[in-house]
Amino acid sequence: TFLLHGRFLPDSRSITMGDQHQVHVWENTYIMQPKESEKFFPSKVSACIERVMEDYLKDKEYGAEDAKIWTLDLSNEIKAAVKELNVPRYKIIVQVVIGEQASQGIRVASKCLWDVSSDNWASYTFQNQSLFAVGMVFGCYYE
């Protein structure tokens, strides 16, 4: 139970304060690490990224204005596909980079501070004759 404004509340309940506000009170779970079966597995996530990017980009030719829209669409589709893997208590961050294939070299990098025992990442690179795309997904566990 919790004490709110001098009253004890049962766990995970809500109360109405007048007609204006509803206050939700949640008890801490104290779950600090994911279960082994609930971890973010890069191999499964990479397969999701690959499937989404291959389906979406297989017939596309690079256009600068189109690429802006594609990055948003791909990010949302990849995030939805990863969430279907049912990885609870992970914040999913998706980053997509699309560029023109012009025989150049490119390096895509990212930096983050995280817990190496529970957080992880996955990526996939798509290429065709006119474009390249890099999809990166970061899974950060939160209590």
Mind listing the domains of the chain with CATH numbers?
Answer: 42-141 (3.30.1140.40)
Instruction: Kindly report the backbone phi and psi dihedral angles of residue 59, in degrees, each rounded to the nearest multiple of 5, phi listed first.
Output: -110, 15
Locus of tokens 């104290």: 30
Q: What's the whole-model pTM score? A: 0.78
CA dihedral 127, 75, 41, 132 (to 10 degrees): 10
Cβ 140 vs Cβ 91: under 8 Å: yes
Phi and psi at residue 76, in whole multiples of 5°? -65, -40
Helices (H), the chain: 42-57, 64-83
Question: pLDDT value at position 103?
Answer: 83
**Given this model, what pLDDT does residue 15 score?**
52
What is the tens place of the pLDDT at every residue in 50-69? 999 999 999 999 999 999 99
Ranges under pLDDT 50 in the chain: 1-9, 11-12
Token pair belonging to 55: 């389906």
Residue-level pLDDT at 19: 63
